[in-house]
Every structure is written in structure tokens, then in C-alpha cells.
């Protein structure tokens, strides 16, 4: 993927990637909460999933925009960066050695 190498060393980018991963999990919690609520139970699981998803979305967006702002000109567009974010979220990279 044509990803700028600076992104892999940017802490804001890593926060955005992990927040999106957490967002996928809490979205699943929200869907389970919806099913539980439709079966006649309490809506607390749904509320927790929706609140968690909103928080993850805010953290993802903040990290994404901060990482994009730190990139040198010419910066990639929003759509290519969104696809880079999704790619990095679903494809784990080996950790870089600390020196």
C-alpha cells in the first residue's frame, strides 16, 4: 500500500489504528445489545456499545487528523488515508525494534 513511511512512526496514527480496532469491538457489543433489547431485556448493553463506539470514533478521528497534519506536503487525500487506516487496522505489522 502506498503509505508514507512517517505514519508508522507517528504515535497519533497508532492511536487512530487502535481506536478503530476498539471501535469494531464495541460496534459488535452494540449489535449484541440491540439483539438483547429486541428479545425483551434491558437496553444497557446497547447503550454501553453506542457510547463506546462514539468515544472510539472521536479518538480515531482526532488521531487521524493529527497524523495527517504532521505529514509533509504533499499529503495524501482523505480517501487514500482512510483506506490506509482500514488497512493498518486489519493487518497487524511486526513491531519495529527499539534502539
Predicted local distance difference test score (pLDDT) of residue 75: 83
* Positions in the chain whose pLDDT score sits under 70: 1-2, 93-99
Predicted local distance difference test score (pLDDT) of residue 78: 85
Ramachandran quadrant class, 81 (left: phi over 0; alpha: psi -120 to 50; beta: rest): alpha
**pTM of the prediction?**
0.81
Rg (CA), the chain: 16
Predicted local distance difference test score (pLDDT) of residue 29: 93
What ranges do the domains of the chain cover? 19-89
Helix (H, G, I), strand (E, B) or coil at 55: helix
Amino acid at each position: 500500500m502506498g503509505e508514507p513511511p512517517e505514519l508508522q512512526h507517528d504515535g497519533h496514527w497508532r492511536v487512530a489504528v487502535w481506536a478503530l480496532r476498539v471501535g469494531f469491538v464495541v460496534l459488535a457489543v452494540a449489535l449484541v445489545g440491540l439483539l438483547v433489547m429486541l428479545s425483551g431485556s434491558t437496553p444497557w448493553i446497547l447503550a454501553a456499545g453506542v457510547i463506546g463506539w462514539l468515544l472510539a470514533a472521536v479518538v480515531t478521528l482526532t488521531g487521524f487528523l493529527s497524523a495527517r497534519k504532521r505529514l509533509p506536503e504533499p499529503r495524501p487525500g482523505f480517501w487514500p488515508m482512510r483506506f490506509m487506516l482500514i488497512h493498518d487496522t486489519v493487518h497487524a505489522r511486526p513491531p519495529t525494534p527499539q534502539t
